[in-house]
Chain A
Amino acid sequence: MEYQEQKDLRAFAIRIRMAALEAIHSIGSGHVGGAMSIADTLAVLYGREMNVRPEDPKWADRDCLVVSKGHAGPAVYATLALKGFFPYEELKTLNRGGTRLPSHCDRNKTPGVDVTTGSLGQGTSQAAGLALGNRIKGRKNRVFLIVGDGEAEEGQCWESFLFASAKKLSNLVVLIDWNKRQLDGYLDDVLPMGDFVAKMEAFGFDTVMVDGGDVAQIAAALERTRAGGDKPYAIVLDTVKGHGVDEVEQTAMNHSMPVTDERFERWTAELRQKLEALEG
């Protein structure tokens, strides 16, 4: 990937973090940790890999994204707003009565959201069904599925993975946000998931692991998945919960956090600094 494109994607990821924090700050608190850890992947998906039309969000041949860890909604909305699916200002309606931007992703509310999620595990089967349906319809598009590492404790995930590989859904790319933490703390303390790469391979996926905070690595892994073949793809994203904002990363219990005015100022200042360093 060209150096300039890499820089643009990194800047996009920072802007996604800033916008997600702006949305969460406007309502006072929310799922900060898991929104931050997935920002780089969202930047590469929407900045490079996915074929979508912001002006025509329901275009039948679009690539679809299923965010099965539906609580990362604010990061998804930030990305969609920056891509022009809806006005940026609307981010500040997050979780307000009557909003189009509820805490968990909702296909009937938000332009650009393809699948309704929030009950962990359920997005995985819907993604498999969507990929199967697209293939039967003869579409050339692909389905990207983001799964939380804690979410992967749900048995349903593994039922869907088994199904996807049995049906040879090579138009499905599963991205596992291996940020090591769930709600009650570290997976290793709650319910260790062991080796995700070995597990996905054993379930019949073409699997790689990348640094999920490095847009170049994510982009390269995604590029590989264009090849098709007879296996679904898995990309294990080695990430940090809260990635990109030091104070959030260092807060052990950062699943859901209040974003006070003070924190918002401080965190945004850090991100702005990173953006300036990048763009000059």
Chain B
Amino acid sequence: MKIVYNGELNPRLCKDVLGETIAEIVNADENAIYLDADLMSCISTLKWAKANPERAVDCGIAEANMAGVAAGLAVAGFKPIIHSFGTFASRRIYDQIFLSGGYAKNDITVIGTDPGVTATMNGGTHMPFEDVALYNALPGATVIDASDPVCLISVLKQCQNRPGIKYIRVGRKQLARIYADGSELEIGKAVTLREGTDAVIFAAGLMLHEALQAAASLEAQGVSAAVVDCFTIKPIDADAIEAWAKKCGAVVVAENANRHGGLYDIILEVLAERCPVPAAVVAVEDEFGEVGTQGYLQERFGLTAAHIEEQVRTVLARK
């Protein structure tokens, strides 16, 4: 695995990466099957799906049914991958994915696109800030906030043979270029993107770019901040959290989700039990979403590098 972050975007659209990777997985594994709920054209699978109707099933606009059908397919020996927008892939199907899926031990990979502010023009009704919390509360679930297209590919492939419910949230557009093409990221292992000594920023998804920008700016002001990629929110890499908290003595968590029930809470549990140090968060302050560009929404909900810098200073003052 190689880190190649330089502040630029990975040129590939995540929706194209999703489309290609899903097709690749299904083509390679006779037990893989992909289901969607009328959003195939949103993740570039429609054309391939039309040529493979047995293994790529459009369930129509009926997400809860899709989750139940996926569970039945699992009983029949398949390893289903299902997709919808993050809101519908979490809230809308929660009871079905929880009981027919998790509780019944039917292994399913769930892809929820447009997490948090990346839902932009679809607005508040389509903006999941709570998907992470819901899946964190599902026993045995794996919860991923994809860092970049490379992470997405690596994680999707691992999920195929991982037990339980796997929830992957990822936008459809571009993300920062963080890892070199072909890098593998092990689910459950946090990745250090930047070393530091004064404070550590644990971040995921689109907040990694903001965290790295904040760390660079802080360095110019004489503050050394580490940045750690927590793309696996659950199971959290508790050892890495503990080690970094011990080393720096101050923690900031940055996530594109509600501050309640997400990465921040999971990290606070680790800190409380293993290494209590001052902590702060950059996340959505218990609000519903709204419509706008991603830039507008990141400002509106306080999800920028500047907000991270501010929280690092706050937490340093409490050290």
Point out residues on A near B: beta carbons under 8 Å: 27, 29-30, 70, 95-99, 102-104, 106, 116-121, 150-151, 153-155, 182-185, 187, 190-191, 253
Contacts and interface: CB of A to CB of B under 8 A. Distances in A.
B61 interface: yes
B122 interface: yes
Contacts of A102: 123-124, 290-291
A190 B125 contact: no
Contacts, number: 91
Interface in B246-303: 290-293, 296-297, 300
A106 B124 contact: yes
B125 A95 contact: no
Interface string B118-146: 00011111100000000000000000000
B59 A191 contact: yes
Nearest to A96: B292
B38 A70 contact: no
Nearest to B123: A102
A98 to B, nearest CB: 7
13 contacts: A70-B125, A104-B125, A118-B124, A150-B38, A153-B38, A153-B61, A155-B62, A182-B38, A182-B60, A184-B41, A185-B46, A187-B60, A191-B58
Contacts of A182: 38, 60-61
A191 B126 contact: no
Interface in B30-44: 36, 38-42
Interface of B: 36, 38-42, 46, 58-62, 64-65, 87-88, 92, 121-126, 290-293, 296-297, 300
Residue among B38, B41, B290 having the largest count of chain A Cβ atoms under 10 Å: B38
Nearest to A73: B123
Contact of A104 (B62, B92, B122, B297): B122
Contacts of B126: 104, 118-119
A155 to B, nearest CB: 6
Given A184-B36, A187-B60, A191-B61, 7 more contacts: A30-B121, A96-B292, A102-B123, A104-B125, A106-B123, A116-B125, A151-B61
B62 A184 contact: no
Given A97-B292, A150-B60, A183 B123 contact: no
Determine the main DSSP class of A at the interface with B. loop
A184 B57 CA distance: 12
A103 B291 contact: yes
B65 A190 contact: no
Contacts of B292: 95-99
Nearest to A120: B61
Contact of B65 (A70, A155, A184): A155
Which 10 pairs across A and B sit closest by C-beta, in order of nearness? A118-B125, A191-B60, A97-B296, A97-B292, A153-B60, A102-B291, A102-B123, A153-B61, A183-B38, A104-B125
Nearest to B289: A102
B46 A184 contact: yes
Contacts of B62: 153-155, 191
A5 B59 CA distance: 43
B122 A150 contact: no
B41 A183 contact: yes
Contacts of A119: 87-88, 92, 125-126
Contacts of B297: 97
Contact of B61 (A95, A104, A150): A150
A98 B38 CA distance: 30
Contacts of B123: 95, 102-104, 106, 118
Contacts of B65: 155
B134 to A, nearest CB: 15
